[in-house]
Amino acid sequence: MDETLRQSGIEIIDDVPWGTHFCQFYQTRQDLLDILLPYFKTGLEHNEFCMWVACEPLSAKEALEAFRQYLPGLDRYRATGQLEIIPHTDWYLKGGGFDSQRVLNGWVEKLDRARAQGFDGLRLTGNTFWLEKKDWKDFVAYEEEVNHVIGQYRMIALCTYSVDGCSAAKVIDVVSNHQFALSKRDGKWALIESSEHKRAMEAVKASEAKYRSLFDNMIDGFAYHRVVTDAAGKPADYVFLEVNSAFEQLTGLKGAEIIGRGAREALPGIEKDPADWIGVYGRVALTGKEARFERYSAQLGKWYSVLAYSPKQGYFVTVFEDITERKRAEEALRRSYEELEQRVQERTVELTRANEELETEIAERLQAVEDLRRANAYNRSLIEASLDPLVTIDAGGKITDVNLATQEATGLSRSELIGTDFSSYFTEPEKAQAGYLQVFREGSVKDYPLEIRHRSGGSTPVLYNATVYRDEAGKVLGVFAAARDITERRETERRITVTNDLLKLYTRKFSHKEYLDVAVELVRAWSGCRHIGVRIVDDKGNIPYEACAGYNPEFLRSENELSLTNDRCICIRVIAGTPEFRERAAMTPHGTFFCNDTTKFVSELTDKQKTQYRAVCMQHGYTSLAVVPIRHRERIIGAVHVADERPGMVTPRNVEFIEQLSFIIGEAIVRFGIEEELRQLNRELEHRVADRTAQLEAANRELEAFAYSVSHDLRSPLRSIDGFSHAILEDYAPLLDDTGRGYFERVRAAAGKMGQLIDALLNLSRLTRGELNRASIDLSPLATAVAEDLKRAEPGRRAEFVIGKKVVAEGDAVMLRVVVENLLSNAWKFTAKREAARIEFGTLECTLHSRDALVNAGVNGMRNAESGMKSPERCGQGKTVYFVRDNGAGFDMAYAGKLFSAFQRLHSREEFPGLGIGLATVQRIIHRHGGTLWAEGAVGKGATFFFTL
Amino acid sequence: MQQTILIIDDSEDDVLLTQMVLSKLGRKISAESALSGEEGLAALRDGAALPAMILLDLKMPGMDGLDVLRAIRADERLCRIPVIIVTHSDLESDKAASYRAGAAGFLNKSVDLDSFTEEVGRTIERCIGGKPCR
């Protein structure tokens, strides 16, 4: 039922939906009454709040009078506040003038209040006779607004306009702002409808008709009601609002006669019916809780099965069927059953009485026995229910009782066990005996470890708790012993040990191969499987066994040939991650294939499937088989292969654990792989360094040997030159004139010079051989001593030595002495022509600051020179820089590169005598110390030699 | 009594200079010479009289000084003759090898002639006088 569709009460309109806004053109008071009285009567009867805003020519008072005459029960509605008739001055013009917004809000407020009071909506009318010309425009706007928004509200509005007050233009205004209009034509009311409204109404009607037919064709009766409550809010009656044809058939009531009427009226006496229809339905309508029941209606003389529910507060729907026939049949059945029951009961009473006496007697006798049995059974069931093997032993160590768990642990029955030696069921009978003797002696033992032997050969590790038990007099009767199976605990401990051992292997410096060998042995010892192998994918795509134990050599030979790409077998597919469909069923989520009966597995394959297996494992009799992939990150890098001749050796739990281990193994393999690669690289690098060093050393040795041998060989002829010149001068002098003797003197002098040169060369060569003994040396006293020697040799010179205090160096004492001597002698020699020579020896810290100091000292302004192309900027932060500075002849930086080469001279020998080998020697020594030597200078401006060590 | 000193040196110049030095020592010494190790050793083995002392050069083609020295030390008849190594080398290693092979002295002939003359004089005084060197 479309509840937005309301009866209009107006003959030519029939039903309209909520939100209808229409108008009436009238001429007389009677015109108004013709339409408005049935309009409001219908509204009142359908629980709508009705509001009549009256105006001339029909005042509020007149309207009320006319309505009272038309509807005798009208005051009842007024009393409940369902009807208000008020003058237009109290509504439209309230507050002095027309305000469209206030009026609109007023309607909405009225509607809200009406809804709050339980009314379905608001039905209203307003007369516009009061409208003056000045208000017309506002009112048209108001009507337009009403027309626009009324669709949202549960409101029906009828506006009445006097035909005489409307010009043609006004008529158009009015009609266009309403959905339709009523107007009298030829003494009859007619409808003026806009085409749009018409179409909408037709659509509504069509759907209504469709719905209606569905509704009427229902087999179940259907009725829609509104509950009427009394002053206390209790349900007092209900009004029929809608019924379908099935309702009429099932009740015999006619819809036309009862709709709009109360149940008390339609079904007299209903309020007294013990079924309490009004109360039941009232509760449904008021609480919203649906009810289902079967009930007899006294008024209709029928049984009904009813479903009542409330679509909204205060309303309810009943859907029901007539079950009178069924009820009658049930009633007949019930009666005949009752009769039968009656007869059985009578018979039973007789029998019972006879039995009772007998039973009393038996019961009394049994009671005593029963009490005892019950207590025993309870205790017994406790013992049997125990998962722990329980046993009682007598003083002689014989078993007196066992429970089920003991039978399971030994594989022997109760009768086989009782009366036999307790200790004979353990792997260590003496220890078992010692145990129960201890109990007899001390009263109890706790956590006594033993292993129960099973007849099949297996054993169960247990911990025993046992105590003695006594009779009432306190005499010891025997021992009660309870064992706790610790297989699980021990297995967990073993797993932890295996895991820890594997992890520990990491830290030891094993090679990859050593690691896998130990890992294989660990898994083998833990799993009890005879054949364990670790296969790793190599760079050729083969999967050889990197480590294994227990396989025979032929098996390994054939397996090690396998390549990931060419061969077909389960190991390969596990590692490649491409199992066959058939295998997936035997695989774990980790990707492990395992099978506890390979023969059975293969026998279930089709011939075609068999070609996918090499069956090498099977040929070697491996019945239990598992291939656990070894992963590193997500990549499969190999597999652990587990095999055994006995079936059932790879349980899912064991497989799961090997899977866990495989992660550790995978990680280790990769780690060892990387380490080995690094070691290999290091070895190669070291090799290359060593080779290169050896080459360089050999080259150096050769060079030195060459230098030595050259200088050595030079001495021999030189000795002849010097020796024979000497002999001539000594023995043959009188045979020569002065010039001849002079020439021989020159030969001798030249030979002497050459001897010195050769000695210097030999010294230079010697310096680069031999050990370098580093120590911390204070160079200051050394430099001072050298300075003293120099000054003593030429006492006539004016020279100042400025020697820094505590100039400490790390190096070879002998060699550093040579450095200081050479540099100071050099400075001494080249300042010979200065009026006042100044020679400094000291240190600088090579920092940014010290470089500034160098610049300030005027030395960095000159270009620096050193044969090794090093410069102070590159000497390294924080390193000590030693320097010897003089104000001597200096040198041209353009030739700075030649400074440190042996026998190179920048000045003529006549100007500054010397061998030209001192600085070369200094440079060799500095280089041997891993240091740097460089010089700065300018012609006539002195020179500074810097070095680091 | 005139004593004989044998000089074994491949350099004729050096033999000559050494003889000159010996003549200047003012002792009754006659100097004989051999210009190679082999020749020197043959002269020692074939000669009826043994020299009082041998001045032996190290660096020689064929048998070098050390070879000759070892051969002398291995020879029953010759082993008691003091052998002085006279060489241009001042290497510690040559010095050590010479003493290990049984040299009685090690002289550097590269020093100037006057110093050399003094050294030779001191060595002869130390070694000659019939005292066996081993």
The span from the CA of A310 to the CA of A811, in Å, is 110
Given pLDDT bands bounded at 50, 70 and 90, which one contains residue A903?
Answer: low
pLDDT of residue A849 exceeding 50:
no
What's CA B45's distance to the chain center, in Å?
16
The span from the CA of B81 to the CA of A173, in Å, is 162
Q: Which residues pair with A214 in a beta bridge?
A: none
Question: What DSSP line would sit under A580-599, residue for residue?
Answer: -HHHHTTB-TT--EEES-HH
User: Nearest Cβ partner of B110 from A719, A724, A727?
Assistant: A719
Residue A719, chain B, CB below 8 Å: the answer is yes
Distance to chain A for B110, nearest Cα, Å: 7
Higher pLDDT, A129 or A849: A129
What's CA A840's distance to the chain center, in Å?
73
User: Nearest Cβ partner of A727 from B11, B20, B89?
Assistant: B20
| Amino acid A856: pLDDT | 43
pTM for this predicted structure: 0.35
The span from the CA of A222 to the CA of A247, in Å, is 6
Distance to chain A for B19, nearest Cα, Å: 12
A563-616 residue pLDDT tens: 777 767 888 888 888 877 767 777 888 888 888 888 888 888 888 888 888 778
A413-429 residue pLDDT tens: 989 999 999 999 999 99
Pairwise CB contact (< 8 Å): A722 & B110: no
Residues in chain B closer than 8 A to A717 (CB atoms): 13
The span from the CA of A646 to the CA of A260, in Å, is 91
DSSP, collapsed to helix, strand or coil, labels residue A16 as strand
| Amino acid B113: pLDDT | 79
Distances (CA, A) of A603 to A252, A317, A606, A749: 78, 70, 8, 111
Q: How many CB pairs under 8 A join A and B?
A: 34
| Residue range B95-102: mean pLDDT, rounded | 92
Distance to chain B for A855, nearest Cα, Å: 47
The span from the CA of A821 to the CA of A829, in Å, is 12
> Which ranges of A267-323 does DSSP label H, i.e. alpha helix?
277-287
| Residue range A871-895: mean pLDDT, rounded | 76
pLDDT of residue A704 exceeding 80:
no
E strands in A553-681: 593-595, 624-632, 635-644
Question: What DSSP line would sit under A92-152, residue for residue?
Answer: TTTTSS--HHHHHHHHHHHHHHHHHTT-SEEEEEEE-TT--HHHHHHHHHHHHHHHHHGGG
Given pLDDT bands bounded at 50, 70 and 90, which one contains residue A869?
Answer: very low
Residues in chain A closer than 8 A to B110 (CB atoms): 715, 719, 755
Burial B89-107 (b: 16+ CB within 10 A, else e): bbeeebbebbeebbbbbbb
The span from the CA of A264 to the CA of A268, in Å, is 5
The residue of chain A nearest to residue B11, with distances taken between CA atoms, is A716
| Amino acid A858: pLDDT | 42
Question: What is the pLDDT of chain A when averaged over all its residues?
Answer: 82
| Amino acid A199: pLDDT | 64
DSSP, collapsed to helix, strand or coil, labels residue A12 as coil
Distances (CA, A) of A681 to A14, A668, A688, A810: 103, 19, 10, 35
Suggest the residue from B20, B57, B60, B113 to mutate for an interface test with chain A (most A CBs closer than 10 A): B113
Pairwise CB contact (< 8 Å): A722 & B109: no
Q: Which helix (H) or strand (E) covers residue A446, if one does? A: strand A444-453
| Residue range A842-863: mean pLDDT, rounded | 51
| Amino acid A1: pLDDT | 40
Q: Is the dihedral of CA A67, A72, A73, A78 positive or negative?
A: positive
Pairwise CB contact (< 8 Å): A727 & B17: yes
Lowest mean pLDDT among A176-180, A354-358, A520-524: A354-358
Pairwise CB contact (< 8 Å): A715 & B20: no
Tokens (6 digits) for B118: 């003094």
Residues in chain A closer than 8 A to B14 (CB atoms): 716, 719-720
User: Nearest Cβ partner of B113 from A712, A716, A723?
Assistant: A723
Residue A771, chain B, CB below 8 Å: the answer is no
The region, left, alpha or beta by phi > 0 then psi within -120 to 50, assigned to residue A795 is: alpha
Whether the bond into A553 is cis, omega within 30 of 0: no
Tokens (6 digits) for A416: 């086989």
| Amino acid A620: pLDDT | 84
| Residue range A923-930: mean pLDDT, rounded | 85
| Amino acid A872: pLDDT | 46
pLDDT of residue A374 exceeding 90:
no
B62-80 residue pLDDT tens: 899 999 999 999 999 999 8
Place of tokens 């010195």: A756
A625-660 residue pLDDT tens: 899 999 888 888 899 999 999 988 888 888 888 888
| Residue range A274-294: mean pLDDT, rounded | 87
| Amino acid A204: pLDDT | 61
CB A802 within 8 A of CB A842: yes
* Helix axis angle, A487-507 to A652-731, nearest 10°: 20
Percent of chain A at pLDDT > 70 equals: 90
Higher pLDDT, B124 or A859: B124
Higher pLDDT, A664 or A347: A664
| Amino acid A2: pLDDT | 43
Residues in chain B closer than 8 A to A724 (CB atoms): 13, 17
| Residue range A137-159: mean pLDDT, rounded | 84
Given pLDDT bands bounded at 50, 70 and 90, which one contains residue A783?
Answer: very high
pLDDT of residue A237 exceeding 80:
yes
Pairwise CB contact (< 8 Å): B14 & A722: no
Inter-residue long-range contacts of A342-351, CB under 8 Å, 24+ positions, other chains counted: none
What is the identity of the amino acid at A350? Answer: E
Q: Which residues pair with A947 in a beta bridge?
A: A882, A933
Distance to chain A for B14, nearest Cα, Å: 7
Suggest the residue from A711, A712, A718 to mutate for an interface test with chain B (most B CBs closer than 10 A): A712
| Amino acid A902: pLDDT | 64
pLDDT of residue A700 exceeding 80:
no
| Residue range A864-889: mean pLDDT, rounded | 64
Pairwise CB contact (< 8 Å): B13 & A719: yes
A138: Cα within 13 Å, side-chain hemisphere: 16
Surface of B (64-123) touching A: CB under 8 A: 88-90, 109-110, 112-113
DSSP A403: -
Residues in chain B closer than 8 A to A748 (CB atoms): none
Residue B13, chain A, CB below 8 Å: the answer is yes
Distances (CA, A) of A645 to A487, A528, A558, A699: 24, 12, 19, 67
A753-769 residue pLDDT tens: 888 888 777 777 777 66
Percent of chain A at pLDDT > 90 equals: 10
Strand A459-470 and strand A476-485: the pairing is antiparallel
Pairwise CB contact (< 8 Å): A723 & B89: no
A427-485 residue pLDDT tens: 999 999 999 899 889 988 888 999 999 988 888 889 888 888 888 788 888 888 888 88
CB A50 within 8 A of CB A43: yes
| Residue range A809-830: mean pLDDT, rounded | 89
Q: What angle do CA A193, A196, A202 make, to 5 degrees?
A: 80
Residue A723, chain B, CB below 8 Å: the answer is yes
Lowest mean pLDDT among A191-200, A230-239, A629-638, A796-805: A191-200
Pairwise CB contact (< 8 Å): A722 & B113: yes
User: Nearest Cβ partner of B109 from A719, A752, A762?
Assistant: A719
Place of tokens 């006492």: A795
Distances (CA, A) of A911 to A787, A899, A941: 22, 16, 17
| Amino acid A205: pLDDT | 65
Distance to chain A for B93, nearest Cα, Å: 12
Higher pLDDT, A809 or A331: A809
Pairwise CB contact (< 8 Å): A719 & B89: no
| Amino acid A911: pLDDT | 67
Whether the bond into A57 is cis, omega within 30 of 0: yes
